Structure 1
Amino acid sequence: MDDVSRPPVLAEDALLGLLLPFWQLIIGALVLFAVVVSIGRLARRGPSRMSTALLVTAAVIVGFALLGVLLQG
């Protein structure tokens, strides 16, 4: 008996390919929103809880992550 391989279903792959960047964008926006809200709350608590250096470090990390996502495509 011969093994007959089935051709891949291209419609499903194309649909997933169209939806994947959309979901990545939504997840990225929600993460960015959570980071901005948390930095705002910590900054309102004053320098005893959150130093400027920590805010700058967090901003750099978010910036590098954003650049990575933008340059990925």
Structure 2
Amino acid sequence: MSPTPPLAQDALVGLLLPMWQAVIGGFVLVAVVAAVFRLAQRGPSRMSLALLLTGGAIVCLTVIGVILQDL
């Protein structure tokens, strides 16, 4: 029979999880802003394709997140 982890350890991980999600979200936001800035400098012809790709990526990541959350 394996020993169960202490409840305090589980509570600490539960408190830290939202912080790590915020840190990762911050890095993603910085990367997206930098990419949009570079695309804006290249002109409108590349912006439309880039916006379609970015929108598609956001939708795909959202769907994957929802699916994985239910598991």
Residue 12 of structure 2 corresponds to residue 31 of structure 1: no
The one-letter code of the counterpart of 1:61 is A
The one-letter code of the counterpart of 1:54 is A
If the length of structure 2 is used for normalisation, what is the TM-score?
0.64
Shift of 1:60: 4.0
Q: Alignment length, in residue pairs?
A: 68
If the length of structure 1 is used for normalisation, what is the TM-score?
0.63
RMSD over equivalenced CA pairs, Å: 2.7
Structure 2 match to 1:58: 54
- Any stretches of 5+ residues in structure 1 without a counterpart? none
Q: 1:8 aligns with which of 5, 9, 17?
A: 5
More helix by share: 2
The one-letter code of the counterpart of 1:30 is F
Shift of 1:53: 2.4
CA gap 1:27/1:35 in 2 versus in 1, 3 angstroms: same
Structure 1: how far apart are the matches of 2:26 and 2:63? 14
Moved beyond 3 Å, runs of 4+: 4-7, 63-69
